[in-house]
Amino acid sequence: MSRRPSWLPAPPPAGARTRRPVLPQNPGGLGLASDRARASMIESLRRIGVRDAQVLDALSQVPRHAFIDAALASRAYEDVALPIGHGQTISKPSTVARMIELVAQSLPPSRRAAAQVLEIGTGCGYQAAVLARVFGQVVSVERVRGLHEQARNNLRAMRLANLRLVFGDGHLGVAQAAPFDAIVMAAAGEAIPDALLEQMRVGARLIAPIGTTRQALHLVERVEREQWQVTVLDAVRFVPLRTGTS
């Protein structure tokens, strides 16, 4: 069964190399149809319990199809992780929504515009774009040079002046931009790196998948200068947090 929605242009001829959906002559048409696909994704997110209006609004504004390969664009608004090259994946929209909602909960909407947020694992840049539509300042770190550059290209058209992309090992955090009001990890380690715990502001939240073969989301809150409270949440499946850069 073909799942290619009517708003997508025809696939490129065999042998042609394109990374982006080829825009048709009436890009407004593509825009309207992808807006509809995104609106139905938002409805599904509401149905599974995502409530935060700013998070839903941000997800409704970021064109997920612009962050993945043209060959996969027809699946952009399904709730699935998709390959983005270099053995990595773009996270499922429901996971992106859940993680951002969990860290945002400690920040009332009025404080979000002044919040400083760190993402570890930029990948294609999708979640970074959503974060930048919810919070005041976002820094996102990626350890694979090719993905860091791919994210930069994907994000250019969105002109998010409050989003900074950093190439490096996320284990170290970004000391120059700390302390953070929220930290979101998009790759699973065996433990939360100490530098990230230290770069949380008191009262800040960090959300991270932890584990190897079995993983679970861990929500960490820095309740006092020397005290972090951890809550173990849903079982998840993320790519591994690796050391160093490549």
Residue 207 bridge partners (DSSP): 184, 219
Q: Per CB under 6 A, which region of 1-9, 27-35, 86-94, 153-161 contacts ligand SAH?
A: 86-94
Looking at 34, 74, 91, 140, which residue is catalytic? Answer: 91
Give the CA angle between residues 227, 230, 235 to the nearest 5°.
165
Nearer to ligand SAH, 32 or 191 (CB): 191
- Asked if 91 is an active-site residue, the reply is yes
Among 34, 91, 137, 154, binds ligand SAH (CB under 6 A): 91
Toward ligand SAH, which CB reaches closer, 88 or 199?
Answer: 88
206 in contact with ligand SAH (CB under 6 A)? no
Site for ligand SAH in 167-196 (CB under 6 A): 169-171, 186-187
**Which residue in the set 38, 133, 143, 222 belongs to the binding site for ligand SAH (CB under 6 A)?**
143
| Sheet strands (E) in the chain | 82-85, 88-90, 116-120, 137-142, 163-167, 180-185, 200-211, 215-224, 227-236
Beta carbon of residue 201, minimum distance to ligand SAH (angstroms, whole number)? 21
DSSP 8-state symbol, 190: S
Among 34, 74, 88, 137, interactor with ligand SAH by CB under 6 A = 88
By CB under 6 A, residue 131 contacts ligand SAH: no
Phi, psi of 142 (to 5 degrees): -135, 140
**118 strand-pairing partners:** 139, 183
The three-state (H, E, C) secondary structure of 54-87, written as one string: HHHHHHHHCCHHHHCCHHHHHHCCCCCCEEEECC
Residues serving a catalytic function are 91
